């Protein structure tokens, strides 16, 4: 299941690059925070897959809910004249880097474990 979030990310980037859609400057803060929330969810899905706790329904609902709430938070902040989107940037940014750190630790831990298996001395009977 690790491939689902990765394929979704690659597919989204490909469609985004091929579509050549211009986003008005007025909406750029909404889209940037929504993209950050989406990336957080994707890396969270990869992490959950590596930890063998991945649930497709949780991933899909979390993806859309986090993205929508982040954009809504940015919109409310603009309406109030307060930079509320900064709270979402900090929250999703911290989670994103935590997920990447855990993914890195799991990947290097597995590589080290494999290396130790390959280098284990062979007992002769």
Quickly tell me which residue has 């007992």 as its tokens: 123
Give the pLDDT of residue 117.
Answer: 66
Question: How far is 39 from 79, CA to CA, in rounded Å?
Answer: 25
Query: pLDDT value at position 100?
Result: 94
Q: Which residues contact 101 (CB under 8 A, 6 or more apart)?
A: none
pLDDT(116) > 80: no
pLDDT tier at 112 (50, 70, 90 boundaries)?
Answer: confident
- Is 26's pLDDT higher than 90? no
Q: What is the pLDDT of residues 51-60, one digit of tens each?
A: 989 898 998 9
Q: Which of 85, 14, 6, 73 is nearest to 46 (CA)?
A: 6
- Would you give the end-to-end CA distance of the chain in angstroms? 41
pLDDT given at position 38: 87
Distance CA 93, CA 113 (A): 30
Asked if residue 115 has pLDDT above 90, the reply is: no
CA–CA dist 43, 45 (Å, integer):
5
The more confident residue out of 114 and 16 is 16
């Amino acid at each position: 299941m690790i491939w689902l979030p990765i394929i979704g990310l690659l597919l989204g980037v490909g469609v985004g690059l091929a579509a050549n859609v211009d986003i008005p400057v007025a909406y750029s803060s909404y889209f940037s925070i929504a993209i950050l929330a989406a990336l957080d969810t994707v890396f969270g899905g990869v992490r959950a897959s590596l930890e063998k706790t991945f649930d497709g329904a949780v991933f899909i609902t979390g993806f859309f809910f986090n993205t929508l709430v982040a954009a809504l938070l940015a919109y409310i902040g603009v309406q109030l004249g307060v930079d509320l989107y900064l709270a979402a940037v900090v929250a999703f940014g911290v989670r994103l880097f935590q997920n990447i750190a855990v993914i890195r630790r799991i990947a290097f831990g597995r590589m080290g474990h494999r290396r130790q298996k390959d280098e284990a001395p062979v007992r002769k009977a």
